[in-house]
Structure 1
Amino acid sequence: MTNRAEDVANFQRNGATILVATPGRLVDIVHHISEFNGPTSNPFIRGFRSLEVLILDEADRLLEMGFEKQ
């Protein structure tokens, strides 16, 4: 497991074509960064511009928890 600061810095710097993350980790990073920068100026969000594929790791657990309708 990498640390959050490394993940954010790398994503901001390089963006990504494919991003694999658990839903919890993704929400944690976005919320953590938004606390300091505000949601509209979030530099982490800029990394999503190059994103083509988002893979939610552990999606099977989400389905088991009843999130398939969402």
Structure 2
Amino acid sequence: MLADEKTSAEQYAIYRKMLPAKRLALAESLYWSARKLKAAWLRGQHGDWSDEKVSAEVTRLFTHARS
């Protein structure tokens, strides 16, 4: 979803019907997907960085992230 998009009533209904464990699993999946995407972007921007450096930078960025 883009920043200017709004959640629809249908989406809210789907989330409300989910069991809490399912919502948590979905949130966890989205979190790890975001980390993988950020790591891929960093590798593209810094091809000379080691896997350890990329991992450390992803951790730093997510630790200090704000929404």
The question of a shared fold, defined as TM-score above 0.5 by the shorter chain, is answered with no
Higher-Rg member (1/2): 2
Return the TM-score normalized by structure 1: 0.29
Higher relative contact order (CA 8 A, sep 6+): 1
Question: Which has the larger share of strand?
Answer: 1
TM-score normalized with structure 2 length: 0.29
More helix by share: 2
